[in-house]
Amino acid sequence: MTRADRILILLVLCIMPFMYYHLWFGDDPANYLLIRSSSNAPVTEALRPNRMLHITGPLGESAVEINNGRTRFVSSPCSGQVCVHSGWLSSAGGFSACLPNRVSLTLVGQHPRFDAINF
């Protein structure tokens, strides 16, 4: 191993934590909410003002709350309630879905977060 190899390895090890944090935990604000449902065309909603939305899916109605630039599932007719337990979405690239009811929420911004799908 040459001196140049050692310098390159050291440089890469110094840069990796910064790249990891920047790509995985970037906290860019979202511009709007994209709602997809199997029974309707995709809908975009502004993240202000605060309100409740009701989206109809094959199992029934899912309630979505928009509050202070973030969003979440409040209730859904599915049995597992995984979508409700996923909590608040607040950054661009945030995603939550009620798969049994075929409803999904995506926060869209100018610079979406990097995730495993982009890999």
Q: Is the pLDDT of residue 114 over 70?
A: no
Is the residue at 25 inside a domain? no
Rounded average pLDDT over 43-66 = 92
Is the residue at 54 inside a domain? yes
Give the residue numbers spanning the domain of 99: 32-111
Report pTM: 0.71
Is the residue at 22 inside a domain? no
Is the residue at 106 inside a domain? yes
Is the residue at 27 inside a domain? no
Rounded average pLDDT over 40-54 = 91
Is the residue at 80 inside a domain? yes
Q: In whole angstroms, how far apart are CA 49 and each of 15, 32, 46, 71, 78?
A: 40, 12, 8, 12, 27
Mean pLDDT of the chain: 87
Domains in the chain: how many in total? Answer: 1
Is the residue at 119 inside a domain? no
